[in-house]
Amino acid sequence: MVAPAIPRLTDPQLYSHGDPHATWARLRGDCPVSWHDEPDHEPFWAVTTYAEGLPVLSDYNRFSSAQGTFLRPNLSAPYPGAGVMMTLADPPRHDVLRKVAATLFTPKAVAGFRDRAQLVSRSLLDRVIDAGTHDFVNDVSGPYPLQVIAGLLGVAGDDVERVAGFAGSAVDNIVDLDGTRAQEAHLEVLAYYADVIEERRLRPTDDVVSAFVRAQAAGVDITDDEIILTCDNLAVAAGETTRQVLGNGLLALLDNPAELAALRTGAVTQRSAVEELVRWTTPVSHLMRTAVADTLVGDVEIKAGQAVSVWLASLNRDESVFERPMELQLNRSPNRHVSFGGGRHFCIGAPLARVMIGVFLEELLSSVARIERAGEPQRKPSYVTNSLETMPMAFHSH
């Protein structure tokens, strides 16, 4: 099946200066499972509808995560961490790693982070309220997640700023998968966690590194490399997802003043609002799987070894699933978005992200009376994340 004449899905400019939603809408209508053979990129399948996309994310027997979960120019090259990092492993190996970490990410466990999230939110907002123009991404939403959950991730208080810097640079790996700066940042995070593992063997705490070390001591077959790579992934992903929802979500609220007013007055629940903002923003634009054997997606034949990308942002705007999907509706119900993925790889940090987003919104709306755009936001040229580079804002207390 030949894709219609549309902009290249891997063209970074489509995401920084174009309209990818128009492209995805055309694909949903004309060619839900389409073949893309683009310049300077190995070919891949793109799935843009909910009915066809969710099974790809969920059926690990047919679609593997071990060859990488994001598109990249050289798909046939070995992917760093493949089969070792939790997100890059299929069951049963994935389940061994996830079981150890899962107890730290249950809704009950993450509820304990509310107080910490409130303190960090207030501190960051206090610095920018009535202080003129600030960059919301780099001054507020960027530092916020890691400052809240540093302890959970095994990052010492004095190291938060340094590790946050490494994690931020590592995210550039999503923009330029072969970028030297991003790779070096990942190596810095890995080296940091190698030291933390040794420390936790001597003095365990309640963080995710200690959980893995205890599991090792109890005889669970987990290597140090698996621990380090999984912690690297959690450190990078935890910050990036929350940052994107807060930045893009705030822009969406400003573009929809009636919805913002409803949130301020309590006319919509915070829980419902968070889910709609997560749907609307879709922090990760796509996830990739690799076909294990010849199979079908919808009525399209997929060959073993071919890359299949599921465009989460398109699934979240699928007209057959969501009523008026191009409208922000904070009271949307049901809201079966796929922003956190699906199946066994459903984002382990989703409960924590929901708490952090909800608490920040509470603090923002209770302390900021007037929110003003102070310039045009700039987007990162990434076909993986819906990420803002800068976002000039001014917050006023009256």
Domain contains 1: no
pLDDT of amino acid 4: 47
Distances (CA, A) of 160 to 148, 154, 155, 168: 10, 10, 6, 12
Percentage of residues of the chain with pLDDT beyond 90:
65
Q: Say whether pTM exceeds 0.85.
A: yes
Distances (CA, A) of 134 to 95, 120, 130: 43, 17, 10
Give the residue from 278, 281, 288, 287 showing the smallest Cα distance to 349.
Answer: 278
pLDDT score of 22 more than 80: yes
Q: What is the pLDDT of residues 143-169, one digit of tens each?
A: 999 889 888 888 887 887 777 776 666
**Residues belonging to the chain:** 398
CA 57/CA 288 separation, integer angstroms: 8
Domain contains 72: yes
Domain contains 211: yes
Domain contains 93: yes
pLDDT score of 130 more than 60: yes
Asked if 45 and 308 touch (Cβ cutoff 8 Å), the reply is: yes
Query: Which is more confident, 10 or 193?
Result: 10
Domain contains 7: no
Q: What is the pLDDT of residues 265-274, one digit of tens each?
A: 999 999 999 9
Structural domains in the chain (count): 1
Domain contains 261: yes
Domain contains 4: no
Q: Can the peptide bond before residue 32 be classed as cis, meaning omega within 30 degrees of 0?
A: no
- CATH number for the domain including 360? 1.10.630.10
Structural domain of residue 372, as residue ranges? 12-396
Domain contains 5: no
CA 173/CA 191 separation, integer angstroms: 17
Q: What is the pLDDT of residues 64-98, one digit of tens each?
A: 999 999 999 999 888 777 777 888 899 999 999 89
Q: What is the pLDDT of residues 167-200, one digit of tens each?
A: 666 655 555 555 566 667 667 877 888 889 999 9
